[in-house]
A and B are shown apart, each in its own frame.
Chain A
Amino acid sequence: MNFTTHTGNRGLVIEEQLIFEQGQPGRTGVDLPEPKGTKSRLGGLDRDSEVGLPGLSEPQVVRHFTRLSQKNYGIDAGFFPLGSCTMKHNPRLNEKVARLPGLADLHPMQPESTVQGALELIDQCAHWLLVLTGMPAVSMSPAAGAQGELCGMMAIRAALDARGENRRRVLVPESAHGTNPATAAACGFTVDSIPATEDGRVDLAAFEAKLGDDVAGIMLTNPNTCGLFERDVRKIADLVHEAGGYFYCDGANFNAIVGRVRPADLGIDAMHINLHKTFSTPHGGGGPGSGPVVFSEALAPFAPIPYVVKKGDGFHLVETADEEDGMQPFGRLKGFHGQMGMFIRALTYMKSHGADGLRQASGDAVLNANYLLARLKDKLSVAFPGYCMHEALFDDSFLKDTGVSTLDLAKAIIDEGFHPMTMYFPLVVHGALLIEPTETETKESIDQFCDAILSLVAKAESGDAEFFKNAPYLTPRRRLDETAAARKPVLRWKPETA
């Protein structure tokens, strides 16, 4: 039924103004003691103007954010097959543990004697990551995957500097995530693209032809962004090592192989692990992430400060570059010691799964993706032949002549009650649709999703492009004008001027 309401609200979907439009002077959501009127010692810089913050009571604030939350899609609400992002279930035990006062309420500069449990926890988390990757060293500092990349590439740069070599070219496959070339550039490297083969892997001949004594290394995602295992990975490692370079592996897709393949056995020198992907820490609407980096013996001495070491019966945090012989840290990446809150959640998850459960999880992730691929491959156009790993990639040729684009289809999927797949990434596939079900989905939910997609494809083929162009219809907001937003950016609320 199509009618408008007096309020603009539609049942449970309630229009909500900005807090700045709701505030009233004199209202507050906190009860703080009355100040005593002490003479200030602020160097004469006492604030003499309004900040401009609205006043709201606690019930208003609760209602505001509850209403906002109802305009969001999360994993808790439904199937969220956003390829390359790994939207798996986020266990609530992780959240409970991360809030224990003995873990959450620790100041980063407390004396070591008062935080032995915290250092032990970091050490345990590091141990799990080392065993799962087979690597000898790990830096727990990086704040997120992209900073993990920075950590790995800076260690490579430092190692080359220590060798007195001026190698500046980094080979990056065309299919790589945008953070790879951006990271290489931030470390003073130039980026040289490697083309892909017909079957979605690195073109080995093209790669070999690009090797030379100015090559610092390769940044390779494995399993790659097409959801495929790089079957020549060992050959690539050998070749880059023979040429005097290093092998940085983007571990964004470690979730496909955890517990089944150790990256050390593939010849890598460094790899970041997104704890929010493989180890279930929540994505939180865009962070916080955490991106520990494992290192080979060759790069381990260059890992950044700070890091935890065992000392006597306890643990010690090394915070200065010159404290340990043989170590040459390239610097410091974060204000303090890394994303402790994420280590707690990830360790809780790893202990819950255990070695056996992690292995089952990666197997189920790959099984779910291949099942989805099998169910859709006759109607959608599969980008590359063969089995996939944890995600299935399609191009948009199945939509040819329908007048419907990948974007249109994704918007129609929203009305069916799902979060869409990743669209238009990786860039090497035209109109890409990257679908990652993860291991925490049931067969029933995957079937329901596949049935919905197939019915939409049939609808597209029947010539109803107009329906798709206007989707979604049932969301709190319909398609948003992104061009207008970028042309004249409004990035904050401002009071109406009279």
Chain B
Amino acid sequence: MRYLPLTRADRAAMLDTIGASSVDELYGDVPEGALLDAPVDLPSHLGEMQVERDMLALAGKNMGASSVPSFLGAGAYRHHVPATVDYVIQRGEFLTAYTPYQPEIAQGTLQYLFEFQTQVASITGMDVANASMWDGATSCAEAVLMACRATRRKKAVLSGGLHPHYREVTETYCQYSDTEVAGRDGHPEHQATAEELNDLIDDQTACVVVQYPDVFGRIQDHTQLADLCHAKGALLVVVFTEAVAFGAVKSPGSFGADIVCGEGQSIGNALNYGGPYVGLFATTQKLVRQMPGRLCGETVDQDGKRGFVLTLSTREQHIRREKATSNICTNSGLCSLAFTVHMSLLGEDGYRRLATLNHENACKAADAIDAVDGASVVNDSFFNEFTVKLTKPAADVVETLVAKGVLAGVPLSRLYPNRSDLDNYLLVAVTETNTDEDIAALADALKEALA
């Protein structure tokens, strides 16, 4: 077998040194009858060529998102990833390293984590960021738990504009820790105001969670909400699913947010059918010791040279055990490297131009769709994603368009399966990867489907 270097002679010599007669003898503690004497009922080993053929066959049964005009978003976005990103993350020194427990031989990982933390803090407008979480939804849940720790309160108010999967994950995380989750699912044609959310805040409320831009694509100023939260001793958590947006819109930090977290997949990472992604998590200097996850900090070495280490680990499970701020251990190291490399290539000009291009393409698509009989864009504001009201159930329209070779968007019924009032709404995302031809193909196909 190509991954196993021991020869028959090696094995014999090693057993001899050990003083054992067989490998089975080394498994002597396994209870009677539980040690298998033959391989389990699965296929035998295969050469590289055969494995590749098997996997290609599976790949061939899918419709790649870039093989057709594609407008799916709802928390995962197709962007162009520069070739340099994949080159860097495939370098063995990054790919095959582990969590930097020995900082003297992990300065590569530690320095990019420090750069990553700085980039995340910069785009969100916050003081500090951690070294990544698993994804946007788990970041949201961890933000709620962190707000409860920081305020010693036990209730979270979730805005209706929050992605329903983020809500579900947050509810799942909170259900066994006596944390109440309040607030209802939203509606694309009604947006909760700061006053309406304020009515849900009481003296047990740890935080209010809003999404910006929200799940229906709308962009709302949360400055007033931040003030209302702070007046009642609650924190404002701002969640995002599209990290490119902050190149075009004001940062959540400028509203006075206390925690900003969300999904970083958009930058540097492929769609990967939903994972692995990279959770971004930023907060204020004041709350840094309440943060979950790993943190990289600057220091000096024995010779006085600048270097980096993992720090503030007394918050973490390996030290604090059941009193840790989170149970997270491994995070999204390589995905955060992809983010850092892509962001380094973009720089100030590239990041902001990328955001502008997304928005301009979305404006173009919104106009084209609005011109179709039976389709109307409901958003007044949006970045690169908006909600369209159709005269037919959106799920059926999406299926019809698959047959025409167009991935039209995400029907709200997929996100809200128990909300029949949302059946006719379609969520459409448009990025820099969509061409004018893609947009025309979508509009034409919609026209036929809705006729």
Interface of A is mostly: loop
* B67 A101 Cβ-Cβ under 8 A: yes
* B82 A29 Cβ-Cβ under 8 A: yes
Segment at the interface with B among A144-152, A203-211, A396-404, A458-466: A144-152
Interface-centre pick from B10, B136, B379 (highest chain A CB count, 10 A) = B10
Cα A320 to Cα B165 in complex, Å, equals 11
Render B350-391 as a binary contact track against A, CB cut-off 8 A, 1 for contact: 111111110110011010000000000001111100000000
Determine whether A484 belongs to the interface, using a CB cutoff of 8 Å to chain B.
yes
Q: For residue B404, which residues in chain A have a CB less than 8 angstroms away from its CB?
A: none
Q: For residue B341, which residues in chain A have a CB less than 8 angstroms away from its CB?
A: 61, 65
Cα A146 to Cα B129 in complex, Å, equals 21
Interface-centre pick from B6, B132, B360 (highest chain A CB count, 10 A) = B6
Within 8 A of B (CB), among A462-498: 470, 472, 475-482, 484-486, 489-493
Determine whether A249 belongs to the interface, using a CB cutoff of 8 Å to chain B.
no
Give the contacting residue for B275; candidates A58, A109, A339; CB below 8 A.
A339
Cα A91 to Cα B45 in complex, Å, equals 14
The smallest beta-carbon distance between B147 and chain A, in angstroms, is: 15
Cα A341 to Cα B51 in complex, Å, equals 16
- Also in contact, A50 and B345, with CB within 8 A (given A35-B353, A117-B61, A288-B276): no
- Also in contact, A145 and B329, with CB within 8 A (given A53-B347, A101-B67): yes
* A65 B250 Cβ-Cβ under 8 A: no
**Number of interface residues, chain A, beta carbon within 8 A:** 204
* B275 A337 Cβ-Cβ under 8 A: yes
The smallest beta-carbon distance between A282 and chain B, in angstroms, is: 5
Determine whether B321 belongs to the interface, using a CB cutoff of 8 Å to chain A.
yes
* A29 B84 Cβ-Cβ under 8 A: yes
Q: For residue B307, which residues in chain A have a CB less than 8 angstroms away from its CB?
A: 477, 480
* B102 A105 Cβ-Cβ under 8 A: no
The smallest beta-carbon distance between B283 and chain A, in angstroms, is: 10
- Also in contact, A68 and B248, with CB within 8 A (given A371-B14, A485-B297): no
The smallest beta-carbon distance between A146 and chain B, in angstroms, is: 5
Q: For residue B129, which residues in chain A have a CB less than 8 angstroms away from its CB?
A: 491-492
Determine whether B238 belongs to the interface, using a CB cutoff of 8 Å to chain A.
no
* B299 A331 Cβ-Cβ under 8 A: no
Determine whether A30 belongs to the interface, using a CB cutoff of 8 Å to chain B.
yes
Determine whether A312 belongs to the interface, using a CB cutoff of 8 Å to chain B.
no
* A287 B96 Cβ-Cβ under 8 A: no
* A355 B41 Cβ-Cβ under 8 A: yes
A20: nearest chain-B partner, CB-CB: B118
Cα A119 to Cα B240 in complex, Å, equals 28
The smallest beta-carbon distance between A310 and chain B, in angstroms, is: 15
Q: For residue B299, which residues in chain A have a CB less than 8 angstroms away from its CB?
A: 480-482, 484-485, 490
Q: For residue B36, which residues in chain A have a CB less than 8 angstroms away from its CB?
A: 259-262, 359
Give the contacting residue for B46; candidates A52, A344, A351; CB below 8 A.
A351
* B320 A182 Cβ-Cβ under 8 A: yes
Render A251-271 as a binary contact track against B, CB cut-off 8 A, 1 for contact: 000000101111001100000
* B329 A121 Cβ-Cβ under 8 A: no
* A107 B407 Cβ-Cβ under 8 A: yes
Segment at the interface with B among A239-247, A293-301, A438-446: A438-446
The smallest beta-carbon distance between B218 and chain A, in angstroms, is: 7
Q: For residue B109, which residues in chain A have a CB less than 8 angstroms away from its CB?
A: 72, 285-286
* A261 B359 Cβ-Cβ under 8 A: no
* B115 A19 Cβ-Cβ under 8 A: yes
* A73 B115 Cβ-Cβ under 8 A: no
Q: For residue A328, which residues in chain B have a CB less than 8 angstroms away from its CB?
A: none
A176: nearest chain-B partner, CB-CB: B321
Q: For residue B11, which residues in chain A have a CB less than 8 angstroms away from its CB?
A: 364, 367
Cα A35 to Cα B410 in complex, Å, equals 27
- Also in contact, A51 and B352, with CB within 8 A (given A110-B72, A370-B18, A478-B104): yes
Render B1-39 as a binary contact track against A, CB cut-off 8 A, 1 for contact: 111111000110111011110010111111101111001
Interface-centre pick from B297, B308, B398 (highest chain A CB count, 10 A) = B297
* B322 A191 Cβ-Cβ under 8 A: yes
B363: nearest chain-A partner, CB-CB: A38
* B98 A82 Cβ-Cβ under 8 A: yes
Cα A26 to Cα B353 in complex, Å, equals 12
Determine whether A326 belongs to the interface, using a CB cutoff of 8 Å to chain B.
no
Give the contacting residue for B312; candidates A117, A334, A442, A489; CB below 8 A.
A489
B271: nearest chain-A partner, CB-CB: A107
- Also in contact, A442 and B52, with CB within 8 A (given A74-B97, A288-B330): no
* A26 B349 Cβ-Cβ under 8 A: yes
B39: nearest chain-A partner, CB-CB: A355
* A331 B327 Cβ-Cβ under 8 A: no
Determine whether A171 belongs to the interface, using a CB cutoff of 8 Å to chain B.
no
Give the contacting residue for A72; candidates B72, B97, B298; CB below 8 A.
B97
Cα A150 to Cα B177 in complex, Å, equals 13
Determine whether B448 belongs to the interface, using a CB cutoff of 8 Å to chain A.
no
Cα A236 to Cα B443 in complex, Å, equals 64
- Also in contact, A110 and B359, with CB within 8 A (given A261-B34, A288-B330, A414-B102): no
* A106 B271 Cβ-Cβ under 8 A: yes
A320: nearest chain-B partner, CB-CB: B417
A109: nearest chain-B partner, CB-CB: B410
Q: For residue A288, which residues in chain B have a CB less than 8 angstroms away from its CB?
A: 134, 275-276, 278, 330-335
B173: nearest chain-A partner, CB-CB: A186
B360: nearest chain-A partner, CB-CB: A38
Cα A364 to Cα B135 in complex, Å, equals 36
Cα A320 to Cα B74 in complex, Å, equals 17
- Also in contact, A55 and B63, with CB within 8 A (given A20-B115, A492-B114): no
Render A299-323 as a binary contact track against B, CB cut-off 8 A, 1 for contact: 0000010000000000000011000
Determine whether A85 belongs to the interface, using a CB cutoff of 8 Å to chain B.
yes
Determine whether B270 belongs to the interface, using a CB cutoff of 8 Å to chain A.
yes
Q: For residue B45, which residues in chain A have a CB less than 8 angstroms away from its CB?
A: 352-354, 356-357
Cα A442 to Cα B6 in complex, Å, equals 6
Render A43-71 as a binary contact track against B, CB cut-off 8 A, 1 for contact: 11111111111111010011011101111
* B96 A282 Cβ-Cβ under 8 A: yes
Cα A498 to Cα B39 in complex, Å, equals 69
Determine whether A448 belongs to the interface, using a CB cutoff of 8 Å to chain B.
no
Segment at the interface with A among B119-127, B153-161, B192-200, B229-237: B119-127
Determine whether B319 belongs to the interface, using a CB cutoff of 8 Å to chain A.
yes
Cα A128 to Cα B163 in complex, Å, equals 33
* B4 A440 Cβ-Cβ under 8 A: yes
Determine whether A187 belongs to the interface, using a CB cutoff of 8 Å to chain B.
yes
* A336 B92 Cβ-Cβ under 8 A: no
- Also in contact, A287 and B332, with CB within 8 A (given A68-B112, A143-B275): yes
A264: nearest chain-B partner, CB-CB: B34
Q: For residue B117, which residues in chain A have a CB less than 8 angstroms away from its CB?
A: 491-492
* A144 B300 Cβ-Cβ under 8 A: no
* A443 B72 Cβ-Cβ under 8 A: no
A76: nearest chain-B partner, CB-CB: B92
* B98 A144 Cβ-Cβ under 8 A: no
B299: nearest chain-A partner, CB-CB: A485
Determine whether B225 belongs to the interface, using a CB cutoff of 8 Å to chain A.
no
The smallest beta-carbon distance between A232 and chain B, in angstroms, is: 9
Q: For residue B39, which residues in chain A have a CB less than 8 angstroms away from its CB?
A: 259, 354-356, 358-359
- Also in contact, A331 and B96, with CB within 8 A (given A29-B346, A340-B272, A348-B55): no
- Also in contact, A262 and B247, with CB within 8 A (given A16-B111, A62-B87, A69-B93): no
- Also in contact, A387 and B26, with CB within 8 A (given A18-B115, A285-B100): yes
* A178 B318 Cβ-Cβ under 8 A: yes
Determine whether A32 belongs to the interface, using a CB cutoff of 8 Å to chain B.
yes
* B104 A477 Cβ-Cβ under 8 A: yes
* B221 A147 Cβ-Cβ under 8 A: no
Cα A72 to Cα B105 in complex, Å, equals 5
Given A117-B59, A491-B296, 15 more A-B residue pairs with CB atoms under 8 Å apart are A58-B84, A72-B93, A72-B97, A72-B107, A90-B96, A147-B138, A179-B329, A262-B36, A333-B169, A335-B75, A335-B138, A387-B20, A485-B298, A489-B295, A493-B115
Cβ contacts A to B, 5 pairs, < 8 Å: A178-B320, A348-B51, A354-B43, A386-B29, A479-B104
* Nearest 10 interchain pairs by C-beta: A336-B274, A102-B59, A76-B92, A117-B61, A331-B172, A284-B334, A43-B381, A108-B274, A29-B345, A288-B276
